[in-house]
Amino acid sequence: MKKLNKKKVFSFLNHVTTALLFLVLISMIFLVISTKASGGEPEIMGYQLKTVLSGSMEPDIKTGSIIAVKPAGDMKRFKENDVITFMEEDGKLITHRVTEVIQSGDNVMYRTKGDNNNAEDLNPVLSENVVAEYTGVTIPYLGYLVNLAQSQNGAFLLLIPGFILIGYAGFTIWQAIKELELSNKKESKENDSSSLT
């Protein structure tokens, strides 16, 4: 009875481990493919995933988080307190809160500020430089993993779950074959002994 329970527990753990490793592998493959397809920005169902590299929006958006932003739409529609992602002159992306909307004819500019900063950003943001709107979705600490995945050494490290899964699958197959052979030998012995009587 104890042997049967141990076997069930081992089988259950075996299935859970396989499922988890497979899930990690599929997630990594999806992340890499979506990053390459969107030109460096991972995208899921029209939402881009951005990595937060500073604490300017803490405590709501922590350093190392992944945030989901929506890149489509009219970039002149934002109002005070909306959180936007915009491109600075040096090509760096910033996600800050709109503190004031400045309208001059057809042109719209936004004064912005990081929630954790003492002062507003120096230059107003042209609506043409706004690339997306923050959706409110934040996944803490996952940004560190994404940054690692985008580096050359990190991409190699993230292949490790794949190698583990392949090795584990090989071990499971070997174990199943071994059990089949044992079962066949046992059946063969039983058949031989029954034919002798």
For 77-96, the pLDDT digits (tens) are 999 999 999 999 888 899 99
User: Which residue among the candidates 11, 34, 54, 193 is catalytic per the annotation?
Assistant: 54
Helix (H) / strand (E) containing 144: helix 142-150
Give the whole-angstrom CA distance, residue 36 versus residue 27: 14
Q: Write down the pLDDT at residue 43.
A: 67
98-142 tens-digit pLDDT: 999 999 888 999 999 999 999 999 999 999 999 999 998 888 877
In this model, does residue 187 exceed pLDDT 90? no
Distances in Å between the alpha carbon of 32 and those of 92, 146, 150, 172? 22, 9, 8, 27
Give the whole-angstrom CA distance, residue 69 versus residue 74: 14
Give the whole-angstrom CA distance, residue 74 versus residue 19: 42
3-36 tens-digit pLDDT: 557 777 777 777 787 777 777 777 766 766 666 6
Write out the E strands in 71-183.
83-87, 93-104, 107-113, 125-126, 130-139
Clarify whether 193 is annotated catalytic.
Answer: no
Give the whole-angstrom CA distance, residue 164 versus residue 162: 5
Q: With beta carbons less than 8 A apart as the criterion, state whether 77 and 70 touch.
A: no
Q: Write down the pLDDT at residue 188.
A: 73
Mean pLDDT on 170-196: 74
Predicted structure pTM score: 0.59
